[in-house]
Structure 1
Amino acid sequence: MNKELYRTEDEYGPIIVLEQGDKRTLSFGSDLQQTSLLMHKPQYLVHEYTQIMLLGLVFTDIRQITILGLGGGGLAHCLNYYYPQIVTRVVEIRQSVIDIAYQWFNLPQKANLKVYNRDAREYIKRVKAQSIDLLLSDLYEAQGMNELQAQTEFIEQSNKALSDSGWMVINFHQMPDKNSAVMKTIYQNFSDVRVCDVFIGNWILFCGKKESAFDKNEINERVRKLAKKLGLPLMYYFKNLRKI
């Protein structure tokens, strides 16, 4: 049984913190969970789709990561814990969500973890070109995915923001049609496009500006090392990742 710990509301709607045992959940007032965190082990990624998104780490060397959408900070917790040498920037439009992530989900305040109260659309439009090695886009609202992730302009601007060997990973609630405008734009802007579907129905799209510099054996080894480091079944997900 979930216990309600905190509730507030801003211009975008309600924000609710729930607790069941050691698990704490963030909701925007619907059945969708924005974040689920184990408070004794916040670096562990509870949601399968977030585990899969971290496969973006294996295709290129990473110095700077940008996350679009904070929630309770699951991805930020994980990256800060296991990769303190990497600068991670998180963009979140709702200041209330940022405050709650610090207060109720123990988001760490570290020099390498920078959180910005910005609109993702404007942030990507204005960020320095070729400044991001890995872009993780997880923009969701109470009823589902933010429409920004399926807009062609957003894809084009994200491509410009990525370094020459950069990758973009997008959490799609439903896979866009192959002939849709957004998929055509992705194919035009990215040389390597792969997808992995998760059990709950989400589709995680991996978009590389160019083919990975690592060969198949090197990538497999990087996946094995990442899986061991994070304690996650990443090789299983990687084997289900296919080029499209």
Structure 2
Amino acid sequence: MFNQGEIVHHTRDEFGSILVVDYRKHRVMTFNSIFEQSKIDRRYPYLPVHEYNRAMILPAAFFTPQHVTVLGLGGGVMVSGFHHLLPDCHIHAVELRQAVVDVAREFFDLPLSDRIKITVADAGDTLARRSTESTDLLLSDLYSHERMSPTQAQKQFVDQCSRVLTPSGWLVLNYHRTPDPDGPYFQQLRKHFSVLLMLRTKSNNTVIYASKQGFDALSSKDPRLKSLEDRFPIGWRQLMAKVTRV
């Protein structure tokens, strides 16, 4: 994938390589594989480029979280996005690798802000230590250089996510494939969440949304989406049109 771009940074830690590659207006973080961990437009680093990242922000159309937790930092595009979109929101990111945090700060314009907290630790362990009902929106994007973290597919992980969410909270998962809607994973989600939605992306990922409470559905033509698009242009209407109920 690198023959069209310029490698501007390379580092290694105990988990492997981290590369930063520039392609004209875009900058990519990769763990030395065919997969892009993060991608930004260098002119607007707070706007996510990948469709699945944009899709993970959609719950902000339904409510205004005061606290967001992001599991898996990457280049920090989710953290930067929510920091820009929601000026009163506090964001806590959990990232396994200090080297990833360092690269996000130096090359991806991850903001230095008193509204952003970053913990370098295992996501599962951190969730287990978190206080009950301590976050409004939890986004999980846990991937290594070659696959989704097994943690994200475990029933215990779903249980812990539900526990730390407030009564009106949302869980958003970037899944490497579409789980069986009648299988054990969705059964576990249904134990804790009243509404389940999903969005299949062009890259064949599936973004899963789980809401603790019911909510008023939005038409893709709802004027609230135009207002959000004016503030944070990621294609809200087009994304909302792809959401289906499970």
Closer/same/farther in 2, CA of residues 185 and 15 from structure 1, 3 Å limit: same
Paired with 2:184 and 2:18, the residues of 1 have a C-alpha distance of: 33
Query: What is the CA deviation profile of residues 64-91 of structure 1, one whole-angstrom value per residue up to 9, with x for unaligned ones?
Result: 0011111011111111122221001111
- TM-score normalized with structure 2 length: 0.93
1:51 aligned to 2:34? Answer: no
- Cα deviation code 1:184-228 (max 9, x no counterpart): 10111110000111111010100011212x4657x9444332233
Shift in CA distance, 215/50, structure 1 to aligned 2, threshold 3 Å: closer
CA root-mean-square deviation: 1.5
Structure 2 spans left out of the alignment, 5+ residues: none
Q: What amino acid sits opposite 2:226 in the alignment?
A: R
| Contact in 2 for aligned 1:60/1:166 (Cα 8 Å) | no
Q: State the partner residue of 1:131.
A: 134
Sequence identity, in percent?
Answer: 29
Change in Cα spacing, 1:104 to 1:216, as seen in structure 2 (3 Å) is: closer
Which residue identity lines up with residue 125 of structure 2 in the other structure? E
Partner SS, residue 101 of structure 2? helix
Q: 1:55: how far off? A: 0.6
Quote the Cα distance in structure 2 between the aligned partners of 1:177 and 1:46. Answer: 28
Q: 1:239 aligns with which of 228, 238, 241?
A: 241
Aligned counterpart for 2:124 among listed residues 121, 130, 146: 121
Q: What is the number of equivalent residue pairs in this alignment?
A: 242
Match of 1:199 in 2: 202
2:46 is aligned with 1:40 = no
Q: Distance in 1 between matches of 2:44 and 2:64?
A: 26
CA separation in 2, counterparts of 1:182 and 1:79?
27
Q: Is the partner of 1:158 in helix, strand or coil?
A: helix
Once residues 17 and 46 of structure 1 are traced to their aligned partners in structure 2, the CA distance between those partners, rounded to angstroms, is 15
Matching residue of 2:145: 142
Helix, strand or coil at the partner of 1:29 = coil
Shift of 1:7: 1.1
Tell me if 1:22 matches 2:25.
yes
Greater than 4 Å deviation, 4+ residue runs: none
Partner of 1:226: 228
Q: What letter matches 1:55 in structure 2? A: L
Which of 45, 63, 73 is the equivalent residue of 1:60? 63
**Structure 1: gaps of 5 or more residues:** none
Instruction: Give the whole-Å Cα distance in 2 for the aligned partners of 1:61 and 1:7.
Output: 38
What is the CA-CA distance between 1:170 and the residue it aligns to?
0.4
Deviation, structure 1 residue 137: 0.7
Q: Which residue of 2 aligns with 1:211?
A: 214
Q: 1:108 to 1:216 in 2, by over 3 A?
A: closer
Instruction: Answer whether contact 1:60 1:165 (CA < 8 A) is retained.
Output: no
2: distance between equivalents of 1:220 and 1:184? 31
- In structure 2, the CA distance between the partners of 1:13 and 1:59, relative to structure 1 (3 Å rule), is same
Distance 2:105 2:223 in 1: 35
Residues 215 and 3 of structure 1: is their aligned pair in 2 closer, same or farther, counting only changes over 3 Å?
Answer: closer
